[in-house]
Chains A and B, each alone.
Chain A
Amino acid sequence: MPTKLSRRDFVRLCAGSAAAISLSGFLVPFIKEAAAAGGPPVIWIQGGSCTGCSISILNTVHPDIEKVITEVIGLHYHPNLSAGAGSLVIDEMYRVAAENSKKFYLVVEGAVPVADDGAYCIIGERNGHHLTFVQAVKELGSQAAGILNFGTCSAYGGFPATPPNPTECKPVKEIVKNVPIVNVPGCPPHPDWMVGTIAHVVLYNELPELDAFGRPTMFFDKIIHDNCQRRQYFDNAIFAKNFGEPGCMLELGCKGPFAHCDSTTRLWNGGTNWCVKAGGVCIGCTEPQFPAWPIYERLPEMPVAPGITATVDQIGGVLAAAAVVGIGGHLAGNIYTGRIGSKKNQDMKEGDE
C-alpha cells in the first residue's frame, strides 16, 4: 500500500472530486432511478434561435451528453438530435404530449416570432400544413407540466426581440400563460444550468426555487462582479484601459456588476475558463434586457442631433462649461449695472432689489 500519492493518482482524485461536486454528474444515479421509475418525458423545440443553446448542452461533461439523453432524461424530440425527420417525428412529438398531458416538460429554445401568424418560423409539417413555432409553443406549452426556457431568447426575448424586430419575436411567457415557467437564460446557458435544471425537475418532479426573473436560484443568485477573479483590481482601483492589460475591465464595458450567474466559480468547457478569465468583458447575457446595451462601452450614448450621439458625460461637461460661461457673463452684468461691487450701497437707496 503506497503511502504517497503519485501524480497520476492525484490528478485522478481531483477529477473524481470535480465530478462529485458538479451537481448534475453527482445526481446521475438518482436521476437514472427516477427515470426508470417513469420520470417525466422531455420535448425540446427550437424557434427563433441560433441553436447555440443546443450546441452548449452537447458540451456537457458530467454527465456527458450521451448519458444525458440515454439515461437522465426521456428526450422524445429534439430538432437536431432526433434520428427521424419530417412529419414522422412531429406526429410522435404530439402523441407523446397528448399521452403525457400535464406530466411532460417542454424545453423551448429561441424566441417566438408572431408576426403574420408566425409565418417567419416554421418548424415542420403537421396534417399537411405548416407547423409554425408559435403554434407549437401554444399547443405543446399549454399541455406541459412546466416550460423550461433554455437561453435568453425564449426566456426574455434576447437578440431576436431586439428592435427593430421585424418578425415580432416574443419571449415564451407572453405566448403561454398559466403554465409554470423556468428561465435558464444565458447566451448560451452553461450546460450545467440546463442539465441541472432538467435533472431537478426529473428527480423531484417540481420546479426549482426561482428568483424574481424566473431563474433557478441555485445557478443565478450570484452577481458576477462579487466573485470575479479581477474583483481585487476593482477595489484597489486598478483599471484596464485596453484589452489584455491587468485590471478591472469596468471602463471597457464589463457588465459584471449587475449580471447574475455562477460562471465565476463554475467555469466553462469542463471547468477550464470563463469570459473574464479569457480576457473578455462580461456582456450580461443572463439579464432580462440583454442585449439592449453596448458591449464594449460603459453606458449607451445619447442622441444629440440626427445621426450624432454623445456620452452623458460629454453632454454634461458641455452644459457645465456653458453654465460657467453664463455665470461669468451674468457676473459681468452684475458688476456693470452695479448690483454687486462698490456702487451697491449708493444704489440700494434708489429702490433697487
Chain B
Amino acid sequence: MKVVLMDDRHSVWIRIFHWINMVAIMLLIFTGFYIHAPQSFPLFGNMDGARMVHFAMAYVLCFGVVLRVYYAIAAKDAHNIVFNPKKDIPNLPSMMKYYLFMSNSHPDYGKYNPGQKAMYTGWLFMALIQIVTGFILYKPQVAFWANLGDYLGGDIAIRLVHLIVTWLFVLTVLAHVYLDVSEGVPVLKSMFTGKIPRDFHGDQSADKSA
C-alpha cells in the first residue's frame, strides 16, 4: 500500500477553538431564531430552555473569540488568517477566476486564499458585533450597556443589527461548509486530525518541501 506523507495543517488548539466556536455559533443561531420568532422558527419546546442555551453559548463564544484571538497573536498564526488588503486584494482576481471555472489552477496563497481570509476576519468582527449587541439586549439593567445601547440608537435598532448579523453568519457558514467540503474530504478531515496529505495541494507545497 502506498504510504501517504502527511503535513501538519491545523494545530490542536486551532482544532479545539474551531469546534468550540462552531458548536457555540450553531446553537446561538438556532436558539436565536427561536427567541426572535418562536412561531416562524419552531425549533425548541420552550423559551426558557432556548434562552438558557443562548446565554450559555454566548459566554462560550466570548471565551472562544478571546482565546482564538490570543492564540492567533501568541502562536503567530494571525498572518495566516487575517485579511491584509495590501497583500490579498491583488490576489482576488486569480482566486475569483479559479472559483468561476475561468482557470484551472490558482497560485499558492499560503494556508488560506484571500477569500477565506476575508471571511475569517469578517467573522471576528461579526462575532464582536454580536457580543456587544447581545450584551446590550441581555443586560439592560447595567448602566454601561444601557447607555451604550442608547448611544447606538436604542434597543430596536440593536435588535435589528443583531438579527442582520445572524443572517450574515447563516449565509457565510453555508458558503464556508460548501467550499471546504467541495475542496475535498481531506480538507474536512484535517479539521479533525490536523493533518493533510502532502501532495493534496498539488505542486506548490511539494516544491516547497523539496
| Bound-complex Cα distance A340 to B106 (A) | 16
Name which residue of chain A comes closest to B140, CB basis. Answer: A258
Q: Tell me which residues from 224 to 269 in chain A have a Cβ below 8 Å from any Cβ of chain B.
A: 234-237, 239, 241, 250-251, 255, 258, 260
Contact assessment for B154 and A316 in the assembled complex, using a CB-CB cutoff below 8 Å: no
Contacts of B150 in A (CB 8 A): 212-213, 288-289
CB contacts (< 8 Å) of B101 on chain A: these are 333, 337
What chain B residues lie within 8 Å of A323 (beta carbons)? 171, 174-175
Q: Is B90 an interface residue (CB 8 A)?
A: no
Among B20-28, B39-47, B62-70, B79-87, the stretch in contact with A: B39-47
CB–CB B143/A211 < 8 A:
yes
Query: Within the assembled complex, what's the spacing in Å between the Cα atoms of A312 and B99?
Result: 29
Q: How far is the CB of A311 from chain B (nearest CB, A)?
A: 9
Q: Which of B157, B170, B200, B202 contacts A351 (CB 8 A)?
A: B202
List the one stretch of B6-14, B53-61, B121-129, B160-168 in contact with chain A: B160-168
- B180 close to A (CB within 8 Å): no
Which of under 10, 10 to 19, 20 to 34, or 35 or more describes the interface residues of A?
35 or more
Closest chain B residue to A347 by CB distance? Answer: B104
Whether the pair B46, A235 counts as a contact (CB closer than 8 A) is: yes
Flag whether B1 is at the interface (Cβ < 8 A): no
Closest chain B residue to A336 by CB distance?
B101
Measured CB to CB, the nearest residue on chain B to A337 is B101
Nearest residue (CB) in B for A301 is B160
Interface size of B as a range = 35 or more
A287 contacts partner chain B, Cβ-Cβ < 8 Å: yes
B201 interface contact, C-beta 8 A: yes
Residue in contact with B156 in the complex, picked from A239, A260, A300, A348, CB distance below 8 Å: A300
> Which of B46, B155, B174 interacts with A236 by CB under 8 Å?
B46
A289 to B150, CA, bound (A): 8
Chain B 188-210 near chain A by CB (<8 Å), digits 1 or 0: 00000000000111110000000
Taking A251-B37, A258-B155 as contacts, is the C-beta distance between A316 and B170 under 8 angstroms?
A: yes
Closest to B154 in A: A289
Q: Flag whether A209 is at the interface (Cβ < 8 A).
A: no
Alpha-carbon distance A221/B178, docked complex (angstroms): 48
Stretch at the interface among A97-105, A192-200, A324-332: A324-332
Taking A298-B37, A299-B163, A320-B170 as contacts, is the C-beta distance between A353 and B202 under 8 angstroms?
A: yes
Question: At the interface, yes or no: A119 with Cβ under 8 Å from chain B?
Answer: no
Give the contacting residue for B38; candidates A239, A299, A312, A334; CB below 8 A: A239
Highest count of chain B CB atoms <10 Å: which of A212, A344, A352: A212
Residues of B near A9 (CB, < 8 A) are none
Report Cα–Cα, A352/B171, bound state, in Å: 28
A289–B39 touching, CB < 8 Å? no
Asked whether A312 lies within 8 Å of B47 as measured between CB atoms, the reply is no
A266 CB to closest chain B CB (Å) equals 19
A261 vs chain B, min Cβ distance (A): 13
Give Cα A348 to B184, complex, Å: 12
Closest residue to B199 on the A side, CB-wise?
A348
Does A292 interact with chain B (Cβ within 8 Å)?
yes
Most A-side CB within 10 Å, residue of B47, B147, B184, B202: B47
Interchain CA distance A223-B8 in the complex, whole Å: 53
Whole-angstrom distance from the CB of B137 to the nearest CB of chain A?
7
Q: Which residues from chain A contact B164 at a C-beta distance below 8 Å?
A: 312, 316
| Contact between A299 and B160, CB atoms less than 8 A apart | yes
B39/A319 in contact, CB under 8 A: no
Q: Shortest Cβ distance from B73 into chain A, in angstroms?
A: 31
Q: A339 to nearest B CB, angstroms?
A: 8
**Contact assessment for B143 and A351 in the assembled complex, using a CB-CB cutoff below 8 Å:** no
A316 to B162, CA, bound (A): 13
Complex contacts, B175 vs chain A, CB 8 Å? 323, 327
A313 with B37, Cβ < 8 A, contacts A234-B47, A293-B156 known: yes
A331 partner, pick from B159, B171, B182, beta carbons under 8 A: B182
**A330 touches which of B99, B163, B170 (Cβ 8 Å):** B99
Tell me the B residues contacting A by CB distance below 8 Å.
36-40, 44-48, 99, 101, 104-106, 137, 140-141, 143, 146-147, 150, 153-157, 159-160, 163-164, 167, 170-171, 174-175, 178, 182, 184, 199-203
Task: List, sorted by A's number, 27 A–B pairs whose CB atoms are closer than 8 Å.
Answer: A212-B150, A234-B47, A235-B48, A236-B48, A237-B45, A237-B47, A239-B38, A255-B156, A289-B154, A289-B155, A289-B157, A292-B156, A293-B156, A298-B37, A299-B160, A302-B160, A316-B164, A319-B167, A327-B174, A327-B175, A330-B99, A334-B182, A344-B184, A348-B199, A351-B203, A352-B202, A353-B105
Beyond A300-B160, A312-B167, A324-B174, 7 extra complex contacts between A and B, CB < 8 Å:
A237-B45, A255-B156, A298-B37, A300-B156, A313-B163, A327-B175, A348-B199
Pairs of residues from A and B, 10 with the lowest C-beta to C-beta distance, nearest first: A289-B154, A316-B167, A258-B155, A212-B143, A353-B202, A212-B146, A293-B156, A237-B46, A327-B178, A235-B48
